[in-house]
Structure 1
Amino acid sequence: MLQWQRDKVWWGAGAAVAAVGWGAQQFAPLLLMYRSELGVGAATVQAVFAMYVVGLVPGLLFGGPVSDRYGRRPVVLAALAASVAASALLLVGGHGVAWLFAGRLVAGFASGAGFSAGAAWIRELSAGAGGEHGPRRATVAMTVGFGLGPLVAGVLAQWAPARTVLPYLPHLLLTLAALPLVRRTPETRTPVAGEGRLRIPDMSAPRFRTVVAPLAPWVFGVVAVGIAYLPALVEPQLGAYVLIFCTLVTLLGAASGIAVVPVARRVARRGSRRLLGTAMGLVVAGLLVAALAAATRDPLLVVVAVLVLGAAYGCCQVCGLAEVQRIAPPGQLAGLTAAYQAISYLGLAVAVPLAAVDHLVPPTVLLLGLASLAAITLVLTIRSTAR
């Protein structure tokens, strides 16, 4: 196989991961729209957003080990089918919040299975390009979907007719287009019969417990703060443009996450400890800016906070995936990736308690509390890497 062909061999798996990521995040800028369309409260729409996690964790724990045993392609194809089903449920979400809960639940399962198997597939297909390319390509593919999905959905919801229906149609078309690409992508795991029961990923490695697990919730915790919590704080200042503002901050967060990936790779070459410190340092900085934005209710500061939090997401994701690749036992890469991602996606739920108590505790205080927890995580994980 020629070099240029080897460089492109991962594109099919990347397209699948991007399509699933599109389906996962297309709902994000529509949160405030559904509040007005369905007449529900902030805590309800945040719960719908977080319902994704309920489906995602079993999807991750299913997709990783199953793809380690039976191959990457079958699991990724199943994830694409589930992603289509999720958008079909969300299409009728304008008729009742129960459809939204169901759609987000299925979208979570699709993402769990697709991201765990797809990220491992991309890393294996990138093995000939160098060890650092796999985590970077997986992060970029995921984040492209995270950015384009909300952009297209938000623009359609703001200016197109049938604002609760049309935003989901592009994802259906994209996912169907990804299917033949996945079918042509080389399989990297040979199905093995008679191996016995599927194994739960081994998370007992000291570095997983002391570095990967504490880092993981911040990967998507910062995403939840940036795209699900902060925009609602400045809704009164935005009026009719709140939906496009939500779309803008979601896109900027994803763009920042992609832009920082080459920087994260260069930092990683100086040592994993340096990358870990940079990633968690950006988390602390982003939450401090978010606290300032909450205090002033300034939309511009929200944008700045989202840019920093997006960079934090990108660095944390590259760091976490690289750590998992480093410590995964033979034959357990997808399983351990799934375990890491299951913990990381728990961070998406942070917006629910924030929205539930921000009428009792000022949002600025809540965000400063999160920044303090991030600073503690930074200190503890850096100390662990020095042992």
Structure 2
Amino acid sequence: MSAGKSSPNIVFASVIAFLISAGWAANHFASVLVVLREDWEMSTLLVNSAYGIYALGLFPCLIAGGLVADRFGSRPAVLLGSTVAMLGNAALMFWQQNTVVLLTARFVIGLGVGLVVSAGTAWAGRLRGASGTTLAGIFLTSGFMLGPIASGIIAHLVSAHYAIYIPYIASIALSVAAIMYSFRAGDVPNFHEVQVVPEQDAPAGVEAEAPAPVIEKSGAKALFTAFPMGLWVFASMTSAVVVLAGRVGNHFESSAFMPGVAAVVAFGSGLIIQALGRHFHFGPVSGVIGAVCSATGFVLTALGGATPSLVVFVVAAIFLGLAYGLCLREGLLDVDTFSPPEKRGSVIGVYYVATYIGFGFPPLIEWLDGYVGPSPPYWVLASLALVSAVIRTVQIRSGYLVRK
């Protein structure tokens, strides 16, 4: 379908399809890694590294995707990224038993997903403004949640042999469907519509309304406000879906379904709070609450130690999910509000780099466990999350962080 004949709603639906499939492609591995660890006897450090190395591929392509979106438009970067992520999952489906292929393919998936996330979010923002940006976060979260849930159900219902193949087929099928739908949907022209409203004198005896405050727009301000939020997005979520799910799995003969349970609780909490925030128009202070929720989840994880109870697991996952949802939403809104339109894609890319630092935490915490035990790293993370809450509070009270 040509750009001139495309409907913005149809194009936006194609963007949503790309974001859901990208989140699924990235995160369905959370349940597969349990099968690799328990039934294929791969080490915990190796499978957690395979989960986290994906973030190394993300970093350069989050930046590149944003730059390409600013310069050439979002659709080419998103199409390329979705194709690359699909090929990475295809390689894993056939050769994941090979350590080199396992790590390399996860890295390649990160490259592809990075392009889709930054360029896709910029694309959604271009089509629908701030509403599109927040919806992009919601549907990306949906993909992150549904992937491990589906993989966990499959792993629990079928034999280990099939449990490490079928999830990849589902992910590849979603990517193919999103690509094919985009070829039909096309895109709409990239332009910025500017409406000029003529000034009118106020009626006699009626005091004129004060003009709306002018919001300073710069990439630096967008990142100064968004970065302290971004740090706790996936740091919170991976702590629930990978670390906590792995530790509480010691209570069960097979823990292959636990990442799926963690995804339901944590991502479900994140989805609900993002939807509520969009409906009730939560202000910047909700970012402070998000950082405090992250700190609370980290404290509970530290208190749970190596074998947390099911109650600690559920409550911590709820707090970590709330932190994910609030911090992701507030960071994206800061970027949308304060970044110049011509630099928005690249600023979104840098912001998402901050969020995906958290994907490196599971292997780091597993490595530190042998030296300091399971709890001290989470006491440190809780303290740092509180520092972010203080920084955002100061930004709000000083008048530096004001959104219309």
- Match for 1:249 among 259, 262, 271? 262
Number of the residue aligned with 2:275: 262
Partner of 1:182: 182
User: In structure 1, what is the equivalent of residue 153 of structure 2?
Assistant: 155
Query: Displacement of 1:204 after TM fit?
Result: 5.8
Structure-2-length-normalised TM-score: 0.85
Cα deviation, 1:46-74, whole Å, max 9, x if unaligned, reads: 11111111100111111111121111111
Alignment map for 1:323-362 (pairs within 5 Å)? 323-362=334-373
Q: Which amino acid aligns with 1:21?
A: G
Q: Work out whether 1:208 is the aligned partner of 2:223.
A: yes
Residue deviations 1:151-204 (CA, integer Å, cap 9, x gap): 1112222222422211110111111111132231423537xxxxxxxxxxx986
Deviations 1:82-140 (A, max 9, x none): 1210110110244222221122101111111000011111122113xxx3x22321111
User: Alignment length, in residue pairs?
Assistant: 364
Tell me what 1:89 maps to: 91
The aligned residue for residue 210 of structure 2 is none
Spell out the pairing of 1:108-257 with structure 2 (5 A cutoff): 108-127=110-129, 131=130, 133-161=131-159, 162-183=162-183, 184-189=185-190, 205-206=220-221, 208-209=223-224, 211-240=225-254, 242-257=255-270
Amino acid in the other structure paired with 2:74: R
- TM normalised by structure 1 equals 0.88
Overall identity of the aligned pairs, in %? 26
Q: Which runs of 5+ in 1 are unaligned?
A: 191-201
| In structure 2, C-alpha distance between the alignment counterparts of 1:312 and 1:38, rounded to whole Å | 34
SS at match of 2:370: coil
Match of 2:232, SS? Answer: helix
CA contact (8 A) 2:266 2:317 kept: yes
Counterpart contact for 2:149–2:259, Cα < 8 Å: no
In structure 2, give the amino acid aligned to 1:168: Y
* CA RMSD between the two structures: 2.1
Equivalent of 2:51, from 49, 52, 56? 49
CA displacement, residues 224-248 of structure 1 (integer Å, 9 cap, x when unaligned):
11111112222321112x0112221
8 Å CA contact retained: 1:93, 1:164: no
The question of whether the paired residues in 1 share the 8 Å contact of 2:25 and 2:147 is answered with yes
Mapped to 2, the partners of 1:76 and 1:9 lie a distance apart of 13
SS at match of 1:349: helix
CA contact (8 A) 1:91 1:164 kept: yes
Structure 1 residue 285 and structure 2 residue 287: aligned? no
State the 1:215 CA deviation: 2.1
Q: Give the AA of the match of 2:155.
A: A
Contact residue 246 and residue 258 of structure 2 kept, 8 A: no
Distance 1:319 1:68 in 2: 22
Q: Which amino acid aligns with 1:244?
A: F
1:125·1:188 contact (CA, 8 Å) conserved in 2?
no
CA contact (8 A) 1:89 1:102 kept: no
Letter in 2 for 1:104: R
Instruction: Name the amino acid aligned to 2:108.
Output: V
- After the TM superposition, which of the residue ranges 310-319 and 282-291 deviates more from structure 2? 282-291
